[in-house]
Structure 1
């Protein structure tokens, strides 16, 4: 096997590993924001930046944040798509689109956002270093974005 082919195979394997990381993240979020499944997906010094949805730093801070999330968001379906992943050694970046029907408190909402992720490989495993959620739309089901593109929130 040529060195170029080995590099290509490694790059594709890294991209697939990061896709699986995002899939595990979405699945854990849809499992009542399970903090015991979510926290291990993040590096020890990671940042979770959810814009108006909240902010947490460090793996344990992220665990605590998500432990409280299911009481605020009793229903969510994270549908992620359109990954753009760039690998640079043991770091990587990713952009994903998010479409998420959800309930916040007692209000049914549509959420559309873009994830801007930074990843780091630790002991051969890809983890989140920084997950940033850029909200494009957060609107009540009954209104839609024509009336209210982003609702007011007290987080």
Structure 2
């Protein structure tokens, strides 16, 4: 390789690494904003939380639950208006029992960048704790798409498929916060 080709190859490789890092941060931020209680400083209501989540999506994005368990539970939302409505139903409707805690853990990451588009796959694990003392552990596979938009990487598709849902024994968790203070000064 001549020096110009070497430099061009190094630039291309750095651009891919930077894209992967930004996509990783975008996906992690999405999960962080979906945690309950929401750990984002200054987010005092779910409308603000939804606004922040929507900033991560392209205008034509799709959010869908697929497979025999998630197809009927989550369905498909196309465009930011429909995706916003999906999140509003999740957080704005009063639930009985109330969701007290959930936290998202991501693993088995694969990110593939192809120019201005990319895909990412993860396995996600999420404990849920409800006000009536019931709880469950949920796992799903994520197969998401991303697109560079306005100079930043945004989510153009969230696609989730159930791996399992398992009820947890009463009392498996003894201590948990009612609000997150981690990010406060």
Give the TM-score, by structure 2 length: 0.70
Higher relative contact order (CA 8 A, sep 6+): 2
Greater Rg, structure 1 or structure 2? Answer: 2
Q: Is the 8 A contact 1:35 1:64 kept in 2?
A: no
1:93 is the counterpart of 2:86: no
How far apart are 1:124 and its partner, in Å? 1.1
2:157 corresponds to? 130
Deviates more, 1:72-81 or 1:54-63: 72-81
- In structure 2, relative to structure 1, the CA distance for the partners of 1:125 and 1:89 (3 Å cut) is same
Work out the CA distance in 2 between the residues paired with 1:115 and 1:103. 22
Equivalent positions of 1:131-146 (< 5 A) are 131-142=158-169
How far apart are 1:138 and its partner, in Å? 1.0
CA deviation vs aligned residue, 1:52-89 (integer Å, no higher than 9, x gap)? 24132211211121122124572310111221000011
Give the TM-score, by structure 1 length: 0.83
1:56 is the counterpart of 2:77: yes
How far apart are 1:5 and its partner, in Å? 0.6
CA deviation vs aligned residue, 1:29-62 (integer Å, no higher than 9, x gap)? 0128621111111111111113424132211211
Work out the CA distance in 2 between the residues paired with 1:125 and 1:105. 39
Work out the CA distance in 1 between the residues paired with 2:32 and 2:126. 12
What is the Cα-based RMSD across aligned positions, in Å?
2.1
Alignment coverage as a number of residue pairs: 143
Question: Which of residues 87, 100, 118 in structure 2 aligns to 1:66?
Answer: 87
Q: Which runs of 5+ in 1 are unaligned?
A: 144-155
Work out the CA distance in 1 between the residues paired with 2:26 and 2:51. 15
Higher normalized strand content (fraction of residues)? 1
